[in-house]
């Protein structure tokens, strides 16, 4: 049997959004083949843009060293944030729009300047940040039972699905994003704990990696883009009716309810 093409793998993932999770892509994609995995992701990004979806930012994933080790890689990954992935802070997300969702608390940046340089530094990123927000990413693999490799999650848009950007945005100056604590609650019970340092040692490190990587690909970050800098603690599975709240010390909160409209 012929190996599936990149276009066929991309179509398989797109179909999973409506038809349900599919088997890992190992019949056509080596587990650590980053180049082909991003090629598949890009095919779907271009497809969705042609359907009218608008890119509003990017997410960094695999920013925890323990997760990188688990998947046999030594780098983070990224996915695209589209406008229709945004959930209003304090709003609702219909469970019917997901397959096997999990939530993770993050720090997000909104850029006030373009980041065009492939050699972007942490200082350049800090200068470009307009506001800092608490955020929740709702991740949702289109790969059955979350049995993902690095290539699976990259091809699948970084296993991204939705995100909540905390309504309150703060200036970066004066914030301690290294030692700041994170608490995520579901229905008032603490389910995940973490700190800013979990994201590649500092959320600005994750944002810098993202800026460098995208500039080298000819898709640089632009003013107004939203950057999710990676999970600050373990992700937690969601059940219908759950109320999720993330609190990031000194930064703010973000919340949503996992229920139908």
Taking only the tens of pLDDT, the chain with its 261 residues reads 678 999 999 999 999 999 999 999 999 999 999 999 999 999 999 999 999 999 999 999 988 876 777 667 778 999 999 999 999 999 999 999 999 999 999 999 999 999 999 999 999 999 999 999 999 999 999 999 999 999 999 999 999 999 999 999 999 999 999 999 999 999 999 999 999 999 999 999 999 999 999 999 999 999 999 999 999 998 999 999 999 999 999 999 999 999 986
Tokens of 223: 């003013």
221 belongs to a structural domain: yes
Closest alpha carbon to 17 in 101, 106, 92, 136: 101
Domain that holds residue 23: 6-257
Tokens of 241: 């009716």
1 belongs to a structural domain: no
Structurally, the chain folds into a number of domains equal to 1
How does 228-246 read in b/e, with b if 16+ C-beta sit within 10 Å?
bbbbbbbbbebeeebebbb
Which helix (DSSP H) or strand (DSSP E) does residue 206 occupy? helix 203-216
10 belongs to a structural domain: yes
CATH number, position 33: 3.90.850.10
Looking from the CA of 73 toward its CB, the CA atoms found within 13 Å total 22
Sheet architecture: strand order including 181-186: 91-92, 252-257, 243-248, 181-186, 189-195
Query: In angstroms, what is the C-alpha Rg of the chain?
Result: 17
196 belongs to a structural domain: yes
């Amino acid at each position: 049997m012929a190996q599936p093409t990149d276009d066929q793998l991309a179509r398989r993932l797109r179909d999973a959004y409506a038809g349900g999770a599919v088997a890992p892509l190992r019949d056509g994609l080596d587990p650590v083949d980053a180049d082909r995995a991003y090629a598949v992701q890009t095919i779907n990004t271009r497809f969705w843009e042609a359907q009218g979806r608008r890119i509003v930012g990017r997410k960094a994933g695999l920013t925890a060293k323990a997760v990188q080790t688990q998947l046999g890689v030594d780098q983070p990954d990224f996915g695209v944030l589209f406008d229709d992935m945004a959930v209003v802070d304090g709003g609702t997300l219909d469970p019917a729009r997901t397959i096997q969702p999990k939530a993770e608390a993050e720090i997000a940046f909104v850029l006030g300047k373009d980041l065009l340089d492939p050699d972007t530094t942490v200082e350049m990123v800090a200068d470009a940040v307009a506001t800092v927000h608490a955020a929740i990413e709702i991740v949702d693999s289109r790969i059955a039972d979350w049995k993902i490799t690095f290539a699976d999650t990259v091809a699948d848009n970084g296993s991204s699905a939705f995100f909540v950007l905390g309504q309150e945005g703060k200036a970066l100056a004066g914030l301690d994003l290294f030692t700041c604590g994170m608490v995520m609650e579901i229905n008032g019970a603490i389910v995940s704990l973490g700190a800013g340092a979990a994201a590649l040692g500092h959320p600005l490190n994750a944002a810098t990696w993202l800026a460098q990587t995208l500039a080298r690909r000819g898709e640089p970050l632009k003013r107004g883009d939203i950057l999710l800098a990676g999970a600050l603690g373990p992700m937690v599975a969601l059940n219908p009716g759950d109320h999720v709240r993330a609190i990031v010390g000194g930064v703010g909160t973000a919340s949503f309810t996992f229920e139908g409209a």
